[in-house]
Amino acid sequence: MRMEDKVVLVTGGAAGIGKATAERFAEEGAQVIICDLAEETGKKVAEAIGVDFNKVDVTDRQAVQAWVDDVIAKHGHIDVIVNNAGIVRDGQLVKFKEGQLVGQMSEADFDLVISINLKGVFNCAQAVAPQMIKQGGGVILNATSIVGLDGNFGQTNYVATKAGVIGMTKVWARELGKYGVRVNAVAPGFTATEILNAMPEKIIEGMKARTPLGRMGAPRDIANAYLFLASDEASFITGETLRVDGGIVVGT
């Protein structure tokens, strides 16, 4: 029960890694509150694992602040936030065929991914930081990706956000360390979440083949990394990005 009596927020907690993270922290005794835009799914997940749910758009600063204020009013403290919410909208910067421009990443797709994956993390961290400072400590955990470190074909927007999250993590670790607030990031590799259900089996097998450990990561693998970084076992770790990727190097 490493997280007994701890209040933990998880964004994007209705599915995938967010759901697994909420489950894992709850197993360790935490009072977990998840948020997501998928209200119906989020409520079902929350009921199934015994946590609380709120519908929150992480791009909406006022909504995020209202959520955080409500948690503080009910529980009196916030010990951990896992900034997990994120999306993908892939596309090449420019796509040429037979010497002609035939496609490119849209501005709308670029802006949407930046708004959720990067600004959403900023909004949530900025909302919880004052409370963590007042109470003398806390942990901010940010979802990045191995592609934020290595890059990836067709993901200009997504890679930009995940690289940005790594940068923000380092800045916040420096700014908040003197208040006892630790800030770290987790960089998952290929992970078996619901997103992969629509992918051809050939692509999934290719992902496994490129991973030295020979399998996809499970959401629980990533959740375990968040749990470790949130726990007192990681009390001298801040400003770091932990790869949880089975040894893969993207592009090889």
Catalytic machinery residues: 158
> What burial class does residue 19 get, using C-beta atoms within 10 Å of its C-beta: 0-12 exposed, 13-18 middle, 19+ buried?
buried
Any idea what the Cα angle at residue 116 is, between residues 115 and 120, rounded to 5°? 90
> CA 252 to CA 249: how far, in whole Å?
6
Distance of alpha carbon 117 from the chain centroid: 8
Which residues, in sequence order, are bridge partners of residue 247?
Answer: none
- For residues 244 and 221, what is the distance between their CA atoms, to the nearest angstrom? 7
Contact 110, 152 (CB under 8 A): no
